[in-house]
Amino acid sequence: MARLKDIAEEAGVSIPTVSLILSGKTQEFNPDTCRRVQRVADKLNYRPNIAARSLQQQKSFLIGVLISDVNASTMSRQLRGIFNALSDTDYSPI
């Protein structure tokens, strides 16, 4: 798993710069630097550490799911739909 440090080294910038750019605070940086950092992050398949982010932001990124129908086939389809809907987000169902 790629770390901010790995991206910073390959992009030739500091770790705080990578952190700010990947969190969307790009207005302070040259657009070329932002593109370079994003390109390296994509190349290294960077995914943010959700546990670290939740501690920093004091937000769990969890969504509670309550299902009243215990029918296995219905529950399976519902859970699959929830997982699919959340797959491109930072959230996880519990």
pLDDT tens-digit profile of 66-92? 877 677 677 788 888 888 999 888 788
CB atoms within 10 A of CB 25: 12
Cβ atoms of 47 and 1 closer than 8 Å? yes
Q: What is the pLDDT of residue 15?
A: 95
Output the pTM of the full model.
0.61
Helix (H) or strand (E) holding 6, with range, is helix 4-11
